[in-house]
A = this chain, B = another copy of it.
Amino acid sequence: MKLSQVGEFRLIDLLARQLGKPSRGVVVGIGDDAAAIQVKSQKSKVKTNVSFLLITTDTLVENIHFKLRKASFYDLGYKALAVNVSDVAAMGGVPTYALVTVGANKNLSVKKVQDLYRGISRAARKFRVEVIGGDTVQSPKELIVSITLLGEVEKKHLLTRSKAKVGDVILVTGEFGGPAAVKYDSRKQKVERRTQEARIIAKSRMATSMIDSSDGLVRSVLEICKASKVGARIRLDSVPVAKKAVLEQALYGGEEYELVFTTSLTRAAELKAAIEKKTRTKVAILGEIVAKNKGIKLVDEQGRDSALKKSGYEHFK
């Protein structure tokens, strides 16, 4: 069977099974925005003594994730770091150190690679990340930018995908469908804009789960449901659809880098208000977590279930 026939998400499941269960020191293993391991920082950015080391990696490949005609090297560098920052933020943590790997054709100009690193440096300064290493390799054709980001999070602030409870409310920041509605332009993307909101959500200790919506709204809810072994009802009239976008794009578009998170029914209004007051970012109540056997459903204004497309943005397909 070809990769295109199984898709990225099933492939990851297959590979994770092959690799076996995580050991005791691994707090969060394969299948979340970042892995979390038990390591204590000596010179910590976070306040408490008990913290976890977060580690995540994201790779951008030319002609798959970006086209050089449309993105400057500077913007590409900025984005490559920012998508990783978004993953660390979605765990409730703060980023610390990065490793940068660039694969480039030998005929590429040094100036362009330096532009790429200027973009990475700019993002690094903004998010207080330090680049401490990496690798530069030759690539026959496509440009590859792969970044591994370390971060840390206090034990009590760690947020995963796996703790959503039946009866919880699903909330989302911002709007969806924007990137799908406009032609791809990395300059207009703000993949990092929810780091502050993520930290507020983590510190509130009210949320039960969180994910960043890089792969689309429905896919994000699916991932929370899969990890938490629950079902969900998404109310279509509650989906915050971006200007110029249609509902379909908001549900399946991806690349928004908004936050999708859950909290108990009794705390939802308080958490929503706290975020909106501190950041002026709109928070919408999207739906509810239900029992696993009820599945994941889209519910229209009349309360009728409607069909769910299986995938959001998926690689290999």
A residues bordering B, Cβ < 8 Å?
1-6, 8, 11-12, 14-15, 18-20, 22-26, 29-30, 32, 34-35, 37-43, 53, 55-65, 97, 99, 101, 103-111, 113-114, 117-118, 121, 124, 130-142, 144, 146, 148, 150, 315-317
Contacts and interface: CB of A to CB of B under 8 A. Distances in A.
Please state the number of chain copies in the assembly.
Answer: 2
Given A19-B117, A106-B3, A108-B3, A133 B56 contact: yes
Contacts of A317: 106
A97 B136 contact: no
27 contacts: A1-B109, A2-B108, A3-B107, A3-B108, A8-B136, A11-B110, A11-B136, A18-B114, A19-B131, A26-B130, A26-B132, A30-B131, A30-B132, A30-B133, A34-B133, A37-B132, A38-B41, A39-B41, A40-B41, A55-B99, A57-B134, A57-B135, A58-B135, A59-B146, A64-B139, A99-B148, A138-B316
Contacts of A1: 109-111
Nearest to A105: B3
A39 B40 contact: yes
Contact of A113 (B3, B57, B62, B107): B3
Contact of A64 (B12, B26, B60, B137): B137
A144 B97 contact: no
Nearest to A20: B121
Contact of A2 (B3, B106, B114): B106
A315 to B, nearest CB: 5
B15 A136 contact: yes
B35 A132 contact: yes
A144 B141 CA distance: 12
A132 B29 contact: yes
Nearest to A121: B19
Contacts of A20: 121
Contacts of A25: 42-43
Contacts of A8: 136
A106 B4 contact: yes
B138 A141 contact: no
Contacts of A150: 37, 55
Contacts of A11: 110, 113, 136
A139 to B, nearest CB: 5
